[in-house]
């Protein structure tokens, strides 16, 4: 096994350093993209690149918009309760 | 052409379901849905890989303090996750806090997405065999 392969495998044995900060919320973006892609791969009757990408992007956008709306609603509720 | 019996249709659905669990996308591949199977395999493998990259293979903690529903969702990726879980048993790969949470969320979501694909592949197999039987 080459040194490069061993190095790549070794990166999977120690966790990355990720702080608890607002930027760590960005980790939801790749996850939302994966959900949109797999969901559309199972739901579309035929897979054509252009249509598939369009549908997946629309679903990804919908998920993000819904999360933002939910976050704003919860933030407003928290402000109303605590003030 | 002879119509498939009820037993052979059930066997087809079982094989498709098991293959889809063994390798993400394999269920769709045997049903000649190659584009779908490539997309499913690439996306689920990438999501799972990101999870174990961020949190290390220590996030696959089958016999530790991880909640049972997270373990169940992780195992839905593939039975090979159980082998990985046996490897990580013990204190060799400690992971805590944010990397642990993100790793568990990614690996369990990949497993749940594969569960969706298993169900979809079995349903497609059912539809195909019903078409062949002329129902």
A51: CB partners within 8 A, 6+ apart: A44
A11: CB partners within 8 A, 6+ apart: B53
Distance CA A33, CA B42 (A): 13
Q: What is the DSSP string of B83-97?
A: HHHHHT-STTS---H
Instruction: List the single best residue of B41, B42, B47 to mutate versus A (max A Cβ within 10 A).
Output: B47
**pTM reported for the whole predicted model:** 0.89
The reply to whether residue B58 touches residue A15, judged by beta carbons under 8 angstroms, is yes
Domain boundaries, chain A: 20-82
Domain boundaries, chain B: 6-133
Instruction: From residue B38, give the alpha-carbon distance in Å to each of A4, A52, B41, B50, B128.
Output: 26, 13, 5, 18, 20
pLDDT single digits (tens) B24-35: 999 999 999 999
The reply to whether residue A15 touches residue B103, judged by beta carbons under 8 angstroms, is yes
CB A44 within 8 A of CB B43: no
- Taking CB atoms and an 8 Å cutoff, what residues of chain B touch A56? none
Cross-chain CB nearest to A37 (options B43, B106, B120): B43
What pLDDT score does B135 carry? 66
* pLDDT of residue B97 exceeding 80: yes
**Residues B80-86: contacts with CB under 8 Å, at least 24 apart:** B81/B107, B81/B111, B84/B57, B84/B60, B85/B60, B85/B61, B86/B62
* pLDDT of residue A1 exceeding 80: no
CB B101 within 8 A of CB A24: no
* pLDDT, mean of residues B70-90: 88
Distance CA A30, CA B111 (A): 15
Q: What is the CA radius of gyration of chain A?
A: 19
ipTM: 0.88
Q: For residue A24, give how far its alpha carbon lies from the nearest alpha carbon of chain B (Å).
A: 9
Confidence of residue B5 (pLDDT cuts 50, 70, 90): confident
* pLDDT of residue A77 exceeding 90: yes
Q: For residue A21, give how far its alpha carbon lies from the nearest alpha carbon of chain B (Å).
A: 10
What pLDDT score does A20 carry? 85
- Taking CB atoms and an 8 Å cutoff, what residues of chain A touch B106? 31
């Amino acid at each position: 096994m080459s040194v490069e392969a061993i190095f790549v495998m070794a990166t999977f044995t120690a966790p990355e350093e990720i702080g608890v900060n607002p930027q760590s919320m960005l980790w939801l973006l790749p996850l939302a993209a994966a959900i949109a892609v797999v969901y559309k791969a199972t739901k579309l009757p035929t897979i054509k690149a252009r249509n598939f990408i369009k549908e997946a992007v629309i679903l990804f956008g919908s998920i993000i918009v819904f999360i933002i709306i939910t976050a704003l609603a919860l933030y407003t509720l928290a402000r109303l309760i605590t003030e | 052409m002879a119509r498939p019996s009820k037993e052979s249709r059930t066997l087809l659905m079982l094989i498709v379901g098991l293959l889809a669990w063994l390798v993400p996308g394999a269920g769709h591949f045997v049903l000649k849905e190659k584009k779908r199977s490539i997309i499913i395999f690439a996306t689920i493998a990438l999501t799972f890989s990101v999870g174990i990259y961020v949190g290390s293979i220590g996030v696959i903690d089958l016999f530790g303090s991880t909640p049972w529903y997270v373990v169940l969702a992780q195992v839905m990726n593939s039975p090979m996750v159980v082998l990985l879980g046996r490897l990580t048993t013990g204190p060799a790969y400690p992971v805590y806090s944010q990397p642990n949470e993100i790793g568990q969320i990614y690996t369990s979501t990949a497993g749940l997405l594969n569960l969706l694909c298993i169900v979809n592949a079995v349903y497609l197999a059912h539809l195909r065999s019903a078409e062949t039987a002329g129902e």
